[in-house]
Amino acid sequence: MLDIGFLAFLGAIAVLGLKRPFLWVLGFMYVDIVSPQDISWGFLGSIPVSLLFFLAAFGGWLVLDRKEGAKFTLRQWLLLMFFGLCAYTTTRAAFPVEAAAKWGWVWKSLLFGMFLPLTLRTRARVEAAVLIMVLAAGSIMISAGIKTVLSGGGGYGTLSSYVRDNSGIYEGSTLSTVAITIVPLIAWLAKHGTVFPPDWRTKALALCLGFACLLVPVGTQTRTGLLCIGVCAVMALRDAKHRFLLLGMMGALGAMAIPFLPQSYLERMGTIETHDADTSASTRVAVWMDTLDYVKHNPMGGGFEAYLGNQIRYKTRQTVQTGDTTTIEYVDVVDKARAYHSAYFEVLGEQGWLGIALWLSIQLIGLLQMELIRWRLRKSGDPVDRANASLANALQIAHIVYMIGSLFVGIAYQPFIFYLVAVEIGLVLAVKRRAAPVEARRAPGARPALQPVGLVGQQA
C-alpha cells in the first residue's frame, strides 16, 4: 500500500507537470529530500525515481516552460566554478574509487543548485519552492517527533524516521540541523504564505510542525541541534518588538522543559562544556588540525573522501575512581580515517583553499543580499515588499542556522543548502524585477513600463 500511495502521488505530479512543467521541478525537490524510493518496501525501490524527475525538471524547462526573467547570476557562476573544481579534484583524488562514488551524488546537488534559480522566474514560484522544502522536510520531522515522544526521548544514532539509514538528511546531526533550519521558513509561511491562506488552520499546523522540529534534536540527542536552537532563538530576537519579554519567555519555557527531557539527553548535552573528556569532540579537533596540516602540502585538496588517508593522535581525559579517590588521567589515542565532522574542513580538505573560498563566497554573498533586502524593504508600506523583507529575514536566519550546524557536521554538499541558495537568488531577482519599473520611471526620458504583479495573483 505504501508503494501504491507514493506511486499515485508521484504519478499525479508527473501528469500535472505536462500543463505546469514547474511541478516537475518541485517533484524533484520532494524526491531529493524525502527519498521515497528508500522508504519503499517494494517495487518503488527498483525505479530510478530521482533520476526520472531530475530529467523531467530539466527537460520540462527546456522544452515546455517559459524563460522570461531567467538570468545566470554571480552566485550561479560561482557554483559553476565550484562544480568544475570538484570535477577536477575527482580526477586526481587520493582515493579515486571512493571519490567517484561521492561525486555520483554531489554533481546533481551542484547542478540543480545552478539550475533551480532559472525556473524561479516569478514570486509565486519562489514561495512554492519554500513551501515544498518545508513540507518535504517537515514530513520527516513529524515522523521523528512522534517517535521521540513515543520512545521517551530517542537516542544518539538510534532514532530513525522514515528509514533506518544513518546517512544523508536522515543522519542524526544533519536531521537536527535541517529541522531547526526550516523553523523560520515555517513561521514565514504561516504569516505571509498565499498558497495556503494564513488562517487559524495554517497557523495551527505551523505551530505543530515547529514543535516537531524542536523535538528532533531531543530525539537524536545531538549537541549540534541544541546549538542550532540557540542560534535560531537569538536571531529571532533581532526584529522582535518586545525583545526582553520574548527572551524571558524563552528562558521560562526552557526551564519548564528541563524536567520533561530524558536523562540521557541532559547527560549528553553536559559534555558540551568538557570537550576534552568526550572522544567524539576530541577526535573532531584532532581531525581539523590534521586537515590544516594536510592542505599546507596539498593546497588543492585531496579530492572527495580524502579523510580516509588521515592518521591522528589525540589525548582524551578519563576519570578513574580508586576507592574514595578520584583521579584524572589523559590517555593517548591513535585513530585512522576519521571523517571531517565539519562542512568547512570537509571542503578545505577535499577542494583545497580555492574550494573553500568559492564555497564560502556562495554562502556569504547570499547572507549579505538577504540583509540588504531586509533593510531596504522592512519599512515599506507595500504589503508585498514587507512580505519580501520578511522572507529575506527568514532565509537569512535559516542559512545562518545551517552554517552554524555545518561547523560540526560534514554537510557541505547536501542538496538542502543549495535549495536555500537557489531560493535566495530567486528572491533577489524577484525584488529587482519589482523595483525596475519604479527606477525606470525615475530615469529621465525613460519609456513607461508595466508594474509587475505582486505576490498575489502571479501565474506559476
Beta strands in 370-458 (DSSP E): none
Comparing 214-228, 289-303, 442-456, which segment has the lowest mean pLDDT? 442-456
Cell of 198: 494564513
Q: What are the grid coordinates assigned to 403, written together?
A: 552554517
Place of cell 525537490: 29
Phi/psi at 422 (5° precision): -65, -40
Cα separation of 62 and 67, whole Å?
9
Place of cell 583553499: 353
CA 119: distance to chain centroid? 20
Task: Reduce the secondary structure of 276-321 to three states and give it as a string.
Answer: HHCHHHHHHHHHHHHHHHHHHHCCCCCCCCHHHHCEEEEEEEEEEE
Asked if 270 and 59 count as a contact pair (C-beta separation under 8 A), the reply is no
H-run or E-run covering 25: helix 22-34
Mean pLDDT in residue range 373-389: 89
For residue range 114-159, what is the model confidence (pLDDT) as tens digits?
999 999 988 899 999 999 999 999 999 998 888 877 765 555 555 6
156: left (phi over 0), alpha (psi -120 to 50) or beta: beta
92, 90, 114: which is closest to 102 by C-alpha? 90
Distance, CA of 8 to CA of 14 (rounded, Å): 10
What is the band of 277 on the pLDDT scale with cuts at 50, 70, 90? very low
CA distance 380 to 213: 32
pLDDT band at 269 (very low <50, low <70, confident <90, very high): low
* Exposure on the CB side of residue 440, measured as CA atoms within 13 A: 13
| Residue 187 confidence (pLDDT) | 93
What pLDDT is stored for residue 157 in this prediction? 52
Give the span between the Cα atoms of 460 and 21, in whole angstroms. Answer: 9
**Rounded to whole angstroms, how far apart are CA atoms 450 and 454?**
12
CA of 1: how far to CAs of 6, 42, 44, in Å? 9, 9, 11
Instruction: Calculate the alpha carbon distances from 217 to 63, 148, 224, 352, 458 in Å.
Output: 43, 9, 8, 32, 38
Q: Are 295 and 355 in contact (CB under 8 A)?
A: no
pLDDT above 60 for 438? no
Section 407-413 average pLDDT:
92
Return the closest-CA partner of residue 402 out of 388, 427, 420: 420
Contact 162, 140 (CB under 8 A): yes
Backbone torsions φ then ψ of 376, nearest 5 degrees: -70, -35
**pLDDT beyond 50 at 457:** no
What 8-state DSSP symbol labels residue 459? -
Q: Which of 70-79, 306-315, 447-456 has the lowest mean pLDDT?
A: 447-456
Residue 418 has pLDDT above 80, yes or no: yes
Distance CA 341, CA 16 (A): 41
Question: Residue 439: is its pLDDT beyond 70?
Answer: no
Confidence at residue 450, expressed as pLDDT on a 0 to 100 scale: 40
- Terminus-to-terminus CA distance in the chain, angstroms? 32
Three-class secondary structure of residue 255 per DSSP = helix
Is residue 118 a contact partner of residue 186, using CB atoms and an 8 Å limit?
no
- Say if CB 35 and CB 168 are below 8 A apart: yes
- Residue 185's closest CA among 363, 423, 407? 423
From the number of C-beta atoms within 10 Å of its C-beta (0-12, 13-18, 19+), residue 379 rates as exposed
Q: What is the structure's pLDDT at 283? A: 81
Summarize the confidence of residues 343-365 as an average pLDDT.
96
